[in-house]
Chain A
Amino acid sequence: MSAMAKTSIHQTDLARKRLARRKAKEKRFRYAGVTAVVIAMVMLGWLVVSLVGTGYTAFFQHYLTITVTLDENILDPNGARDADQLRKANYRKIIQQALYARFPEVTYRRSKRALFQIISASGATNHVRKMVYQDPNLVGRELTIVVPVSDDVDQFLKGYIDRKAPEELRRVSDQQIAWVDQLVTSGELVRKFNWRFFTAADSRDPELAGIAGAVVGSIMALGVAFFLSVPIGVGAAVYLEEFAPKNRLTDFIEININNLAAVPSIVFGLLGLAVFLNFFGLPRSAPLVGGMVLGLMTLPTIIIATRSALRAVSPSIIDGALSLGASHTQAVFHHKVPLAASGILTGSIIGMAQALGETAPLLMIGMVAFVTEIPTNIMEPASALPVQIFLWSDSAERAWAERTSAAIIVLLIVLISMNAIAIFLRSRLERRW
């Protein structure tokens, strides 16, 4: 008990100093951690705010209501009412005449051209063309249509073009502004929700372009990738982890799988071009091939995730199963795989989310393309969402900026939902023991 008389080694000055230093160190580390999180959040917030800031306007579009006269002399001078001939008729003139009728005071050729530029030429002509093609009897009648305004006018009304800027620096002239103001006041030109953005395929004109084609293409490609890479990946992982002999060959395979996970994605595109297109002769630009390439790309990710999920299952469970007389196969499939399921699913979904954002491998197999139709099966040409974003961002027209941001917002929402599903499944499937 003589030790009581001595001061404890924890009470010496030196010890106190050391303790203070250690506590300060821990505090500093915590502060550093908080700072790192804050910086990450600020950057992410910045990205989201700037995207939403430029992108939200693309969810709205200005529309013009106008009455067109389907003049028989222009559309069908022979009176044959042949649908295919009617389809090729001069609808531009019909729209022009409707606009000139709305503003009869416009007579100069230049002004007439400027007037025609306030409406989406392609949108309006094709709208009328479709109606006439489906019902040739409309020829000769009057029709009231609601069509998008041109991208320049739309940008002007959204405030992206400064009304006070000198006229030669604007893409919308003073005269056009006057017409637009008049149409807005009379209620003929209104802002509506831009449904077309979600239902239409790609278009050369920003006011007509939509993401539906690209989204469907992405879904199809991802579907193919999922059904290809998940069964193969999980199967390969279970075999390698549980049944394969441990020798040089399997070591070699393991190293290669880890290497493949780090290979730049364009390499998989080149592989797809050489094998799927040139050797097997599958069609270019098809989501089937895109999915196969993306599937190959995510395969290593899934194998690695599955193997680590299997490894994380407590060995005592397998031991228990084996000691109760289960065969090795039974122990693995009845106990180990179900317990690892949450990890496997998370890995797969994160792999898929990665594949969703890829453009590079799709370039080689021809999915970086302009496709005006929403694909209906996996053999038809299609684009993909990140490709669409890439192509739009490189276009000259100012209106593409907001649409690019809007498409990115959609892509982010899909990615967030996929990750949310991964988290949800993990918490649902996870079993504690």
Chain B
Amino acid sequence: MQFRTITASIVGALLAFGCGEDKVEIKSPISTANAAGEIRVVGSSTVYPFSTKVAQEFKNKTGYNVVVESTGSGGGHKLFCEGVGADTPDVTNSSRRQKKSEFDKCTKNGVTDIVEVKIGFDGIVIANARSSAKIDVTLKQIYLAFAKQTPKSDDDCTLESNPNDKWSDIDPRLPNVTIEAYGPPPTSGTRDAFVEIAMDGGAKKITCLAALRKQDKKSFKAIARTLREDGKWIDAGENDNAIVQTLVNTPSAVGIFGYSFLDQNADKIKGALIGGVKPTFENIAGGDYPISRSLYFYIKKANVATTKGVKEYALEFTSEEAWGPGGYLEEIGLVPLPDDVRAQYRAAVENLTTYKQ
């Protein structure tokens, strides 16, 4: 008897979940009963804010539901490349270009036609508290500050563990402050981009390492991209707001994160000049600021036919109203591409032109 009541209540509750009331909102053109009806976007947490903004505007305009997951660039490519069909993601966001290995995995799983779309730039800043000393460094100095092992001198590539304790040890003109950096962990795309652009770029400025790069790219990368493990570089987790807070509380420290967090917290922190260039919107857009990376998304062409609205979503993303100068993505911190590059990728979306690695 009691058991029957319980069963009845279970069934009742499930039914109640099943038949929610119709909402007054604008009706969607697609049946919500079909679980695969919505557009699926996965990938980078850096592109996530832009992707969600487009998803929201796109839904308002057309009623298509877009579900955006924040899985990280690597996780996004992994899911994206699992295969084609309604139960796989239609689009993946990436804060770096798709790697060869990822492309190959895609091909192996039947995801052969992929449209690559570059959407804009994002600057990576080195920032410290407003009250602290101004930092003006070159890429080479960044390398010397954060690398695990550094060469003895420009011409002698004998490696020693990084002897620099203070910024002024690298160059007397830099502040007399202990080096202490809070940066993104290895899982983060920001970290990948930082070591690739800033650390590689800095190591290249050292004569003997530049020579090594020509002979043996692999060992050059190992030397350039390995960050210190003596407590001067601290993996601070994925939450950039937490790094900003740490900088305010620890005036001697610097933090490494995306430009939009500097933009939002200009009253608390300031960005270090890199090679004399200030991290500003204009400098990143103009390509003068050296540590900036491109952001991408990738469309699975096979899914354009099976999932309604994928192409339209990509068209909304690449419309001038969205990614153009003065568009709604610029308002939330995306640095637009130059006109001709935008036109090129817009055409790629319109014609669904696939790309090759």
Contact = CB atoms under 8 A, between A and B. Distances in A.
A286 B61 CA distance: 25
A285 B17 contact: no
A375 B38 CA distance: 12
Contact of B240 (A92, A169, A203, A396): A396
B266 A371 contact: no
Contacts of A165: 267
A281 interface: yes
Nearest to A121: B328
Contacts of A105: none
B239 interface: yes
A227 B42 CA distance: 30
Interface stretch (B45-53, B99-107, B198-206): B45-53
Contacts of A379: 35
B238 interface: yes
Interface in A331-381: 363, 366, 368-381
Interface string A95-108: 00000000000000
B263 interface: yes
B307 interface: no
A122 B57 contact: yes
Given A377-B20, A379-B35, A171 B264 contact: yes
Interface in B113-168: 130
A376 B265 CA distance: 38
B336 to A, nearest CB: 15
Contacts of B10: 227
A88 B260 contact: no
A196 interface: no
B112 interface: no
Contacts of A391: 70
A65 interface: no
Interface in A37-63: none
A130 B267 contact: no
A376 B35 CA distance: 12
B241 A378 contact: no
- Chain A's interface size range is 35 or more
A396 B35 contact: no
Contact of B266 (A125, A169, A366): A169
DSSP class of A's interface residues: helix, strand, loop or mixed? loop
Interface in B11-68: 13-14, 17-20, 23, 25-26, 32, 35-36, 38, 40, 42, 45, 48-49, 51-53, 55-57, 59-63, 65-68
Interface string A285-300: 1100000000000000
A225 interface: no
A82 interface: no
B87 A396 contact: no
B67 A285 contact: yes
A134 B264 CA distance: 37
A198 interface: no
A126 B60 contact: yes
* Residue among A122, A162, A284 facing the most chain B CB atoms (10 A cut-off): A284
Nearest to B333: A396
A326 B66 CA distance: 60
A426 interface: no
A394 B240 contact: yes
* Residue among B40, B45, B321 facing the most chain A CB atoms (10 A cut-off): B40
B97 to A, nearest CB: 24
A88 B65 contact: no
B192 to A, nearest CB: 18
B239 A393 contact: yes
Contacts of A281: 87
Contact of A369 (B35, B69, B321, B326): B69
A357 to B, nearest CB: 18
B26 A133 contact: yes
A168 interface: yes
B264 A369 contact: no
A81 interface: no
A220 B17 contact: yes
B261 interface: yes
A87 interface: yes
A204 interface: yes
B331 interface: yes
B347 interface: no
Given A87-B61, A204-B332, A396-B263, A381 B17 contact: no
Given A366-B69, A376-B20, A88 B264 contact: no
Contacts of A203: 56
Interface of A: 87-88, 92, 113, 117, 121-122, 125-126, 129-130, 133-134, 161-162, 165, 168-171, 203-205, 220, 223, 227, 231, 281, 283-286, 363, 366, 368-381, 391, 393-398, 401
Interface of B: 6, 10, 13-14, 17-20, 23, 25-26, 32, 35-36, 38, 40, 42, 45, 48-49, 51-53, 55-57, 59-63, 65-71, 87, 130, 238-241, 258, 260-261, 263-267, 321, 326, 328, 331-333
22 contacts: A87-B63, A122-B328, A125-B60, A169-B267, A204-B55, A205-B53, A284-B87, A363-B71, A368-B70, A369-B67, A369-B69, A370-B52, A370-B68, A371-B67, A376-B20, A380-B35, A381-B67, A393-B241, A396-B49, A396-B263, A396-B264, A396-B333
Given A87-B26, A117-B331, A401-B241, 20 more contacts: A87-B62, A88-B61, A122-B328, A129-B60, A162-B267, A170-B266, A223-B17, A227-B10, A283-B36, A363-B71, A369-B68, A373-B25, A375-B20, A376-B19, A377-B19, A380-B35, A393-B241, A394-B240, A395-B49, A396-B333
